[in-house]
Amino acid sequence: MKKTILIAAATTLGGLSGAHAQTSSVTLYGIVDAGLTYNSNAKGSKQYLLTSGNASGSRWGLRGTEDLGGGMQAFFRLESGFSSINGTSGQGGTLFGRGAYVGLSSTRAGAVSLGRQATTQYDFISPFTSGGTWAASGIGYGTHVGDVDALDNFNRINSAIKYLSPTFGGMRFGANYSFGGAPGSVSQNQTWSFGADYASGPFSLAAAYNQVDRPNFSFFGNKASDSAVNNNITNAAISGYASAKTQQIFAAAAAYERGPARLAVTYTNTRFRNLGEVAVANLSAAQSRFRGTAVFDIVEGNFTYQLTPALQLGVAYTYTHNSNADNLDSAVYHQVNLGADYFLSKRTDLFANAFYQHAGGTDASGGRAVAAITGATASTSNHQLIGLIGMRHRF
């Protein structure tokens, strides 16, 4: 239950033509999430640690609306991430790293927002993935390798304008554009995305496209602590592609829901193009030699079942194929996600997850591919197991 800290019923203006009323509200909300994680191989050793933001990122925020009349509203959102383990700020110390935007919405024309926010591609596609919903979406363990297709919202965008349409016959569409802010250049560091979804009865579909210029700095490197010269792409499976001029992501998804069961399928194609064209300091010799285009094809299928009103079970399988540049051997990653979520109330739940990844081939470091579950310390071998139990409370 969200707690409203201010609800102001605005004045009623009398007159010969009748009364006109306006309302506004500001709400304080948040999530506190903590758990115990086991990693079977973290740089060659077993690892036990307390982790924050597992099922959902720990956060607090303010959101508000003001009724402007005629079906129009002003709205804003400020959302800050933090660690429930040590109290430090999330998103690299960015105060409102999870979101900071203001906008206008209309029941007939849709909504426009300006500020730091998620991409349109994330908005439309992530509800179909296990890593974007029930499989440790906060910390990222269930996410596709390195979140290379940006479906777990690690990479929010700055200076963004976003539009979302109303629903027409079950269909919506939207788009966003992020200004790069580079002096003398309109295109440098820009990000743009568009997408659409459709729902009819038990079926739902979605498709989206996202393009990023100089992703190491504009997409992976837009937080307060990120480097302006070094590699900000840390996952072993994709870290060698920091010198790409462009990142392009196409995604499509479908789901079928019947009673307590839901089956969803997602396909994404991610391309790091023009490797070697962006200067990045301190890359290894193997990483620096990549040229051309690196491609990731990813397919996920996931199934959830609401066993009881309080207990949801989930299972997912993801296949990732990375075609490396320079005709090097490709890398292949297989990952299985398992999850159980038990709600003690509408606001408090207990969760348990397991994640297993197996890797093969040659990865973005130019060496033997190692298992590198997103959000965890990478393995030194080709396999890795993560176990997680925890608790989440919403307010």
Q: What pLDDT was estimated at residue 255?
A: 98
Q: Scanning the structure block, which residue is given the tokens 């194929």?
A: 321
Q: What pLDDT was estimated at residue 326?
A: 64
Q: What pLDDT was estimated at residue 2?
A: 44
Q: For residue 142, what are the domain limits?
A: 3-394
Q: What pLDDT was estimated at residue 182?
A: 82
CB of 312 closer than 8 Å to CB of 351: no
Q: What pLDDT was estimated at residue 19?
A: 39
Q: What pLDDT was estimated at residue 22?
A: 63
Q: How far is CA 72 from CA 65, 112, 120, 170, in A?
A: 10, 11, 22, 21
235 Cβ partners below 8 Å, 6+ apart?
145, 146, 147, 148, 372, 374, 378
156 vs 229: CA distance, rounded Å = 20
The domain spanning residue 111 has which CATH number?
Answer: 2.40.160.10
Q: Name residue 389's amino acid.
A: I
Cα 236 versus chain centre, distance: 19
342 vs 386: CA distance, rounded Å = 20
Q: What pLDDT was estimated at residue 29?
A: 98
Q: State phi, psi for 371 to the nearest 5 degrees.
A: -65, 130
Taking alpha carbons only, the member of 157, 143, 125, 124 closest to residue 57 is: 143
Q: Scanning the structure block, which residue is given the tokens 């990478």?
A: 378
Q: What pLDDT was estimated at residue 288?
A: 84
Q: What pLDDT was estimated at residue 327?
A: 61
283 vs 305: CA distance, rounded Å = 45
Give the number of domains in the chain: 1
User: How many Cβ atoms are within 10 Å of 308's Cβ, its own excluded?
Assistant: 10
201 vs 70: CA distance, rounded Å = 31
Q: Scanning the structure block, which residue is given the tokens 């990000």?
A: 191
Q: What pLDDT was estimated at residue 16?
A: 33
**Series of mean pLDDT values for 10-residue runs along the chain (395 residues):** 40 36 88 98 97 97 96 97 96 95 97 97 98 96 96 92 97 96 86 97 98 96 91 91 96 98 98 95 86 95 98 98 77 97 98 98 88 96 98 98
Take residue 246 and report the two structure tokens written for it.
Answer: 């462009």
Taking alpha carbons only, the member of 301, 279, 322 closest to residue 146 is: 322
Q: What pLDDT was estimated at residue 154?
A: 85
139 vs 220: CA distance, rounded Å = 16
